[in-house]
Amino acid sequence: MFKHDQLNENYSHEGKRYVWIFDPIEGVANYQAGIPIWGMSLALIDNFWPIFGVFYMPATGDIFHARAGKEAFWGKKKMQIADSDINDESVLFTFSRFHQHYRSNFPGKIRNLGCASAHICYVAMGRADAAVIANESFQGLAAARVIIEAAGGKVCTFDGCNFHLNEYLDGQKIDEHLLVAAPGNFMQVRNCLQPGS
């Protein structure tokens, strides 16, 4: 398990260069309820930056993996996210209580499968067009972020800025909501979601 005190101001290429981050159960509520959408997340950090990620879903047998800057895979099949028009066949994955935070005119289906890493990997493989992520941690996002970016997707804040995961190494919850999508789909999806009143 990742311990944030392993990383400190002295952590550099001269010291301990690599740290493994392991999240043994991503989607705990699903696991406890016997719902098969949960998994184990493992990421390798090189000097504060995730360089390898794997997400394995034992109940379904799905394994997603990627090296930063290289290709992303679902098992042995390469994944490459593509821009597409958002329409009534599109799928947006969200978090619980999403409708308490946003008014949506998203034209397609909005679903919550209860596992943020699965949501991100499904976007990477094209089963969904985008995902809104909230209330996550560095440990929960490290591997999935490597996978989505290697597949050509992006993780951004809702104002369109790049999300810097390494700012959360100390273990605090990530308060801001994040949007995961192909770069060309970001504004289409974002424009469908307005902050709730």
CA dihedral 167, 8, 69, 149 (to 10 degrees): -30
- The pLDDT of residue 164 is 83
Distance separating alpha carbons of residues 66 and 58, to the nearest angstrom: 18
- The pLDDT of residue 1 is 42
Q: Whole-structure pTM over 0.85, yes or no?
A: yes
Determine the structural domain holding residue 51 and report its residue range: 4-195
Distance separating alpha carbons of residues 132 and 158, to the nearest angstrom: 9
**Per the structure, how many domains does the chain have?**
1
Q: In terms of C-beta density within 10 A (0-12 exposed, 13-18 middle, 19 or more buried), how is residue 92 classed? A: buried
Q: How confident is the model at residue 15 (pLDDT cuts 50, 70, 90)?
A: low
Helix H or strand E segment including 28: helix 28-33
Higher pLDDT, 180 or 16: 180
Structure tokens at 150: 């290697």
Per-residue pLDDT for 10 more than 60?
no
Q: What are phi and psi of 30, to 5 degrees?
A: -65, -45
Distance separating alpha carbons of residues 96 and 71, to the nearest angstrom: 31
> What CATH number should be reported for the domain holding residue 112?
3.40.190.80
User: Could you tell me where the beta strands, DSSP code E, fall in 31-93?
Assistant: 39-46, 49-57, 62-67, 72-74, 77-79, 91-93
- The pLDDT of residue 50 is 87
Q: How confident is the model at residue 197 (pLDDT cuts 50, 70, 90)?
A: low
Per-residue pLDDT for 168 more than 60?
yes
Q: How far is CA 121 from CA 60, 81, 93, 96, 116, in A?
A: 14, 10, 11, 18, 9
Chain-wide mean pLDDT for the chain? 89
